Amino acid sequence: MAKRDGLKNYKCLDLKDAKNDYRLREVYRDWAKKYDFDNDNVLGTVSQPKSVNLLSTRLKDKTAKIIDVGCGTGLVGEKLKAQDFIYFDGIDISEDMLSIAKYRGYRNLFLGSLNKQLPLLDNKYDAAMCVGVFTHGHVSSDRFNELCRIVKPGGYICFTINEGVFEKYEFKKMIEEFQSDKTWEVISLYKDDYMTLENVKGYYCLAVVQ
């Protein structure tokens, strides 16, 4: 993939591409330094504060251990810190994104892909955030299992899904299956503003692992 604008390359990702993890790293390598600017000024993304607000409606223990999966440059961490959460780790596929996140208050940052097993122990966290990762060409709906593995029973999973892939990648179907087989209990699932300057909505979900 030619080295050019990360934002443009992001739209060309394809889940079925066998080299997708490699391409994801290339996209975010090229985007990392400009990501925060584009988030605010080109995309108008509001998913980070909205997701942290959603988690906060239920998670009242400010010492809870939280993992931010696909933490990127740490915009979710920044919001967690602003809400007085004191223990949050981050993990991402891109070293370049992580190199910016290290200034945003995370206890530990890890390199790993949600398309594979994450280098994290079972039942390690009280909550997992996953914001902006279930989107075009990134991660498929069968990876919800991996989020459930690293969160304790009774813990929370709070994630977003770009409206464009909600049904296309079977996220809707998988959320319902996890509910009916009692893998989790959905507390909230709704559509709301996501990338406001692109007029793209997203789904916000908060679930408790059973």
Ligand X SMILES: C[S@@+](CC[C@H](N)C(=O)[O-])C[C@H]1O[C@@H](n2cnc3c(N)ncnc32)[C@H](O)[C@@H]1O
Give the footprint of ligand X on this chain (CB under 6 A): 24, 28, 47-48, 70-72, 75-76, 92-94, 97, 113-115, 131-133, 138-139
CB of 48 to ligand X, least distance (A): 5
CB of 180 to ligand X, least distance (A): 26
- Residue nearer to ligand X on the CB measure, 64 or 98: 98
Residue 169: how many other CB atoms lie within 10 Å: 22
CB of 40 to ligand X, least distance (A): 11
DSSP state, 196? G
- Residue nearer to ligand X on the CB measure, 120 or 209: 120
- Residue nearer to ligand X on the CB measure, 59 or 131: 131
Strand duo 125-134 + 66-69: pairing: parallel
Contact 148, 123 (CB under 8 A): no
- Residue nearer to ligand X on the CB measure, 72 or 155: 72
Token couple for 4: 């050019």
CB of 182 to ligand X, least distance (A): 26
Q: How far is 79 from 139, CA to CA, in rounded Å?
A: 23
Residue 28: how many other CB atoms lie within 10 Å: 23
- Residue nearer to ligand X on the CB measure, 176 or 197: 197
- Residue nearer to ligand X on the CB measure, 145 or 210: 145
Sheet with 88-92: strands ordered across: 109-111, 88-92, 66-69, 125-134, 151-162, 200-209, 184-195
Q: How far is 103 from 125, CA to CA, in rounded Å?
A: 22
Residue whose Cβ sits closest to ligand X: 72
CB of 175 to ligand X, least distance (A): 19
Q: Which helix (H) or strand (E) holds 23?
A: helix 20-41
DSSP state, 207? E
CB of 122 to ligand X, least distance (A): 18
Q: Which helix (H) or strand (E) holds 21?
A: helix 20-41
Token couple for 18: 């066998």
